[in-house]
Amino acid sequence: MKIFREEIDDFLPQKILDFHVHVFPEEIMPPDHEGWSAGGHRIRSYTLDELRQDLADLYPGRECRAVCFGTPHEELDSIANNEYVAEKCDHKRFFPLRLIRPEDDPDAVRKDVLGKKFLGFKPYRNYVRKADPEEVEVFDMLPDELMAIADELGLIVMLHIPRKQRLADPKNQGQVVALAERFPHATIVLAHIGRAYYLKNIVGHLGDLAPLPNVYFDIAMLNHWEVLEYLFANVESHKILYGTDLPIGIAPGKSVEINNQYTYVTPAPWELSISDDHDKLVFTAFTYEELRAIRKAVERLGLSKQFVEDVFFHNGMRLIEQVDARIGGGD
């Protein structure tokens, strides 16, 4: 709270929409499963009640909403996770996306979206089940039959871009452009700015994507102010969405760039991080590091209060309201 009071409180708008949150009940875990590692902390569930509490703790005095989807791991029960998310999200504070697997039956997906009022899709590369996950392509994750539903109903597609070169990968870029153009009524959100967590991955790589009216960028887990500054300077502001990747966002740690790569540094050992086994540092949550970085980028570019309020709330709410009007989700 000291950090919040000293560095965040006078910057943070009154209304916050977190566009990138995973919620899942324990029932989706096989009994012998070791749990999901959120920044090195094994958890077997992250319920909507826990999310509600975390939002209140992270952002005291703010009005918070969130776009929620399940945790997309191949071995977990995505059907039960989707049902949980649809049931718990009220379309007032919490808004559901549906985990989709490429082999899902399109008619069943369409029925499910309309019946349970999902605002869109959350595909994931692990659902493609290639021997080498780095070989998965955007087209593998998003078959045409499913994209056609997103197009017809104007849905949101939350895309965690595959491949080693991430945002900078020419194949990724070409396939995202192709999907955005062929399915113009779908909105593709590039999660974590296409996973460009280090500067070299974004500089020079927004040229083909920025002009697309239906490609948006969420900034979840971006702790790097230079990357954010580059995004804010090169993309129309209404396509930028605040997000955190809770429950990972609340774990202590920071993502850092080293020699044109990135890693996380965390107090607890985590397969994605270098961990502080010497106990040298006192950490805060990834989300507070993200807020610091957003603030620094905003201030360096001299961006307005309106820009900040739009990124934290209005840009995402506009998308949600458009979809809800089409699928009757707000009723």
Token reading at 315: 């840009």
Residues of span 133-152 touching Zn ion by CB under 5 A? none
Report if residue 289 touches Zn ion, rule: CB under 5 A. Answer: no
The distance of closest approach from Cβ of residue 22 to Zn ion in the complex, given in angstroms and rounded to an integer, is: 6
Contact flag: residue 245 with Zn ion (CB under 5 A): yes
For Zn ion, which is the closer residue by CB, 18 or 77? 18
**Cα-atom radius of gyration of the chain, to the nearest Å?**
19
Give long-range contacts, CB 8 A cutoff, 24+ apart: 104-109.
104/146, 106/145, 106/146, 106/148, 106/149, 109/146, 109/149
CB nearer to Zn ion: pick between 13 and 249: 249
Question: CB–CB of 84/25 below 8 Å?
Answer: yes
Residue 249 CB, shortest distance to Zn ion, in Å, is 9
Kindly state the helix (H) or strand (E) to which residue 156 belongs, with its residue range. Answer: strand 156-159
CB of 20 to Zn ion, least distance (A): 6
Distance between CA atoms of residues 193 and 180, nearest Å: 16
Smallest gap from residue 168 Cβ to Zn ion (A): 20
| Residue at 187: amino acid letter | T
Q: Output 120 or 298, the one with its CB closest to Zn ion.
A: 120
Q: Decide whether 160 or 239 has the Cβ nearer to Zn ion.
A: 160
Q: Decide whether 123 or 298 has the Cβ nearer to Zn ion.
A: 123
Query: Would strands 63-69 and 98-99 be described as parallel, antiparallel, or unpaired?
Result: unpaired
Q: Does 18 bind Zn ion (CB under 5 A)?
A: no
Output the smallest distance, CB 122 to Zn ion, in A: 8
Which is closer to Zn ion, CB of 73 or CB of 117?
Answer: 73
Residue 237 to residue 316: CA distance in whole angstroms: 11
Neighbour count for residue 92 (Cβ, 10 Å):
8
Three-state secondary structure call for residue 324: helix
Choices 50-58, 227-235, 240-248, 251-259 (CB under 5 A): range interacting with Zn ion: 240-248
Q: Rounded to the nearest whole angstrom, what is the least distance from the CB of residue 325 to Zn ion in the complex?
A: 26
For 85, the enclosing helix (H) or strand (E) is helix 78-88
User: Of the listed pieces 93-101, 128-136, 141-149, 243-251, which binds Zn ion according to CB under 5 A?
Assistant: 243-251
- Which residues contact Zn ion by CB under 5 A? 245
